[in-house]
Amino acid sequence: MIELSQGTGSQPGRSQLTCRYGGDTLNTAVYLARLGVATDYVTALGDDPFSDEMIENWRGEGVGTTRVVRVPGKLPGLYAIRTNDEGERSFYYWRENSAARMLLDLPQTGEILAALAGYDMVYLSGITLSLYGPDGRHRLFDTLKTIRKGGTRVAFDTNFRPIGWPIVDTARQVYRDMFEIADIVLASVDDLSLLFGARVTSDVIDRIPADEVVLKLATPASVVRHNGVDVTVQAEPVGKVVDTTAAGDSFSAAYLAARLRGASPAEAARAGHRLAGAVVGHRGAIIPRAAMPSHDVEQT
């Protein structure tokens, strides 16, 4: 999506806006590519100049775009971010008619879904699932179940936004279905408390049957459950928090990159906290390359 965020020096009634490109899974894809993971992004865009810029931007980051479908006459989604003095953000969306919503209803959809079997891992989020109707989700879930049998792992980030789910009971059932499919679930207490009402960490994590679950806590820490064993991983202290946008997305990228390299779940969680700690010190979803933690950047 097109991302509009507050510029420095904004005044009430006269905000300065910076235009970037973002979106939760796109943020994760960019950070995965920066961490040396060969990554393709699967989505639909329009045939407009903004979509052209997105494609070039992603390619510049090393994200593969061969699975991006261009839909004539459509546009990307748009969202604006406002942050308070503590760096916490609020989102405002305009994406009802975005091209991405059509991804599972296009002539190319069958080819795209079939191609997923060729990947080591497929990553998606709760926002991904909110874009599609029941038929599209059913088609996607059937594909994910099939490719898992062939050895492709499925990673799911809970990333719950109430605005994307007019009927919360629908969201609860879709998430339960996705939990049954996913090999790795990257969750947060905030997401699942909002969705299911659970408040105790054990209640939240017990809702997820996957063998590998990472639960980000309200405090700077996470609980990693792998094969029934829980480990708490504390985050290193960070400096001033400027903007929490993409903190979770970057955590997911670093966690998955580490796991794909053979790191333990606890080591992967520490990598996730390091990258997220760097991301929250900058405005916008994608931080400058120079700001990437040096020990998390793939050496070439």
In this structure, how many other beta carbons lie within 10 angstroms of the beta carbon of residue 62? 16
CB 67 within 8 A of CB 115: yes
With contact defined as beta carbons under 8 Å apart, do 76 and 98 qualify? Answer: yes
Active-site position among 157, 191, 243, 249? 249
Catalytic (active site) residue 85: no
| Closest C-alpha among 117, 124, 114 to residue 152 | 117
Work out whether the CA dihedral 204, 205, 209, 214 comes out positive or negative.
positive
* Closest by Cα among 20, 11, 12, 13 to 243: 20
Question: Computed over its alpha carbons, how large is the radius of gyration of the chain?
Answer: 18
List the helix and strand counts (H, then E) for the chain: 10, 12
Q: How far apart are CA 163 and CA 55, in angstroms?
A: 27
CA distance 163 to 26: 19
User: How far is the CA of 112 from the CAs of 43, 116, 133, 194, 207, in angstroms?
Assistant: 9, 7, 18, 33, 31
Active-site positions?
Answer: 249
